[in-house]
Copies of this chain bind each other. A is one copy, B any other.
Amino acid sequence: MTPREQIGKQAEREYILHGKRGVTPKNLAHKMGVKLSALSQLFPTREDLILEVYRINVQEMNREREEALDRALVDSGGKPLSIESIMDARILPLARRCIEPHKGVQYQVGLSRFFTESSSIKNRILHEQFADLTQRFIDEIERALPYLPREEIRRRFQMTMAAMLGVCGILDMAAYGKEPARSEQEMWKMVHDLRDFLCEGFSAPVQDRHSPSSIHLNDGGRQWQVPLKDIACINADGDYSRVYYASGGCDMVRQTMKAWESIL
């Protein structure tokens, strides 16, 4: 291992055990018995160290995802893939890491810590590690499900990825605290349930989203839903709008006319 890799590995251990508080150049130099100045040359700040931890973990996993897509395309002779094999390529490399005996729980903790990081770190990682890969997946899904508009594919892709992350975050948990924690076999069963669920959600016919059946109102303190059929009209009033109900009465809400246009 190069010094860079050694430091990365140590940073990973500290990050899983103690979160970002453990990942400082000073603490790592101390734990590894190296000079702070030497370590700081490679990783000047805590943010550099945290980014390195995610790079180590994400790069290899995303390479596996690319390879799984490549393999599937060789098998299909370049023809459009099934949504099942695309989802497998995306889900299995992550699931395997979360289920691995002994190390799986640590991986899940690292994954959860990601969501406690600053927007700047999260967005840098997404941009550097995921933008191109995601584009490739979206392209393959477009070929697999040509009846879906691109916008709908992007929307569903985001939902499916969120569901995948959510499931990976609860893999080690007992179902609502009632049973003993899941066995490895049960965790794999859950991953396959996830795969089926996402494929079903992805393949569903498109609903007409240009006329939602109800809209969301927000008066600054309270939020609620109103069926569209109960609304007679909406008038702009500066940064606010007045919503007039079919049954009479009216509410002043915080949404602007422009916001309505983007929804309705």
Contact = CB atoms under 8 A, between A and B. Distances in A.
A124 B176 CA distance: 9
Nearest to A258: B185
Contact of A167 (B112, B159, B194, B212): B159
A169 B115 contact: yes
A216 B159 CA distance: 25
Interface size class of A (residues with CB under 8 A): 35 or more
A124 B177 contact: yes
Interface string A75-118: 00000000010001000100010000000010011011111100
Interface stretch (A29-37, A41-49, A52-60, A195-203): A195-203
Contacts of A109: 115-116
A176 B19 CA distance: 23
Interface stretch (A3-11, A127-135, A139-147, A228-236): A127-135
A135 B261 CA distance: 39
A172 B166 CA distance: 16
B178 A131 contact: yes
A210 interface: no
A19 B117 CA distance: 12
Which of A113, A116, A124, A262 has the most chain B CB atoms inside 10 A of its CB?
A: A116
A7 to B, nearest CB: 22
A18, A84, A169, A197: most-surrounded residue (chain B CB, <10 A) = A197
Contacts of A1: none
Contacts of A158: 167, 170, 175, 190, 193
Contacts of A255: 185
A177 B225 contact: no
B204 A200 contact: yes
A178 B19 contact: no
A166 B155 contact: no
Shortest 3 CB-CB contacts between residues of A and residues of B: A127-B177, A162-B166, A166-B166
23 contacts: A92-B223, A92-B225, A96-B223, A111-B115, A112-B115, A113-B116, A115-B170, A122-B173, A122-B177, A123-B174, A124-B177, A128-B177, A134-B176, A154-B175, A155-B193, A159-B194, A162-B166, A164-B166, A165-B166, A185-B255, A189-B263, A192-B212, A192-B216
